[in-house]
Amino acid sequence: MQPDSAIHRARRERVLEQMGEGVMVIATAPEVPRNRDTHYPYRHDSYFYWLTGFNEPEAVVVLIGGKNPRHVLFCRERNEEREIWDGFRYGPEAARETFAFDDAYAYDALHTEVPRLLENQPLLAYIIGRDMAWDTQVMGWLNAVRGKARSGVRAPDRLVDARVWLDEFRLVKDAHELALMRRAAEISDGAHRAAMRATRPGRHEYEIEAELLCAFRSGGAESPAYTSIVASGANACVLHYVFNNQPLRDGDLLLIDAAAEFGSYAADITRTFPVSGRYAAAQKDVYELVLAAQGAAIEAVRPGNHWNTPHETAVRVLTQGLVDLGLLQGEVDGLIESQAYTRFYMHRTGHWLGMDVHDAGEYKLHGEWRSLQPGMTLTVEPGLYIRPADDVPQAFWNIGVRIEDDVAVTESGCEVLTHAPKTVAEIEAWMRP
């Protein structure tokens, strides 16, 4: 996608307004070797890209606040030989123009220019503690400035984790971000529909994964947003199952947790459906319980409710349903208080969603769950995972169900971004030959 320099420039200006006088330094992600001669497909750092829109490796953004703010980029120089092998590079001059920076330097100039930019600044902000090598490099720059103390040069005396500001900005999405997330969701919806249509006994999990990957790329997505989970039968009771290598058996459920990344924004969808195309009685009972819990949780996503309200809502519905199915015994309030339900439901009901699948942003402020507000985006994903046990009726053994959708908080409630078939009737009709 072509960069929109005005959007990224405006973001940087908002950050500097919050930070005030000082310097913020944010590096993009490094390239990661896969084996001797190749790298994993490159994916930029989300904080860096949110600020810049620049997706080449070996790049750093330096933002200088105060009365004379400056936006500075360090990036790779043009190199005809490397571009023959690896593709186009902007180089500092073109990057400065294209991405609306005040100055741009070659990446190799970092060690001389950054200490100079830190001189006589009161504050240095960067992402502290995420990368020890980067911490060491930043401390080296600080020490270089401290070494000039006898010349009257002052080094920053405050270190601040840049996430203090960046996470809060990234947590609330603007119209541009929501448009990208809707497209990521649309592509992912289509992939789930294709996977349902391709599923039948005798095929393998990896064949269905291939359908997903094909639909992602055919829809224009850069990549999957995360490693796809294609888990049939007992595998659906393994929350982070990613082997995707088992045959699909008649009578089993297939749980797919998979979605695309588009424009650097992620979707995150889970659907659970029968390999044969029709739910057995016990599978249907569990599925409709999870679906009811998800519907209640989505209804609880609205401004003013706190972050944990959808989870609390889902837990109550699930716990009552587990009692009704005979899988738990006792009073619902007591079972919730003792967390007896966690035998079958052991994860949270959602997480922030955005550039990262588990996106930036705190869930509590000053020890209290934060309130939802328009522009926040999150998943709603209750589930039940029933393993074989002496006190569990055999009809429920190895039933793993999770239903996950992406929602954006609006002024009056929420917008559900994902729309793959979800009710029993919709799924069975879609899968019918």
> How crowded is residue 282: how many other Cβ atoms within 10 Å of its Cβ?
16
Active site includes 240?
Answer: yes
Active-site option among 154, 306, 347, 348: 347
Angle at 328 between CA 324 and CA 331, to 5 degrees: 80
Q: How far apart are CA 80 and CA 26, in angstroms?
A: 27
Contact call for residues 105 and 113 (beta carbons, < 8 A) = yes
Structure tokens given for 6: 């005005």
Catalytic residue among 12, 287, 351, 356: 351
Which listed residue (176, 331, 358, 363) is catalytic?
A: 358
Which of these is catalytic: 45, 189, 211, 404?
A: 404
2 to 54, 55, 98, 99: CA distances (angstroms): 10, 11, 10, 10
268 noted as active-site residue: yes
Residue 403, phi-psi category: left (phi > 0), alpha (psi -120 to 50), beta (remainder): beta
Q: Catalytic pick from 105, 241, 341, 385?
A: 385
Catalytic (active site) residue 257: yes
Q: Based on the residue annotation, tell me whether 366 is a catalytic residue of this protein.
A: no
| 419: annotated active-site residue | no
Q: DSSP letter at 245?
A: -
Answer whether 344's CB lies under 8 Å from 350's CB: no
Length of the chain: 433
Active site residue 37: yes
The verdict on whether 8 is a catalytic residue reads: no
State the catalytic residue, choosing from 150, 240, 366, 432: 240
**Do residues 224 and 256 lie in contact, with contact meaning Cβ atoms separated by under 8 Å?**
no
Mention every residue, 6+ apart, whose C-beta is less than 8 A from residue 345. 315, 318, 382, 383, 384, 385
Q: Out of 177, 211, 359, 381, which one is annotated catalytic?
A: 381
37, 80, 337, 411: which one is catalytic?
37
The active-site residue out of 9, 49, 402, 405 is 402
Which of 268, 356, 359, 405 does the annotation list as catalytic? 268
Catalytic status, residue 347: yes
Q: How far apart are CA 321 and CA 66, in angstroms?
A: 57
Q: Is 404 a catalytic residue?
A: yes
Residue positions annotated with a catalytic role? 37, 240, 257, 268, 347, 351, 358, 381, 385, 402, 404
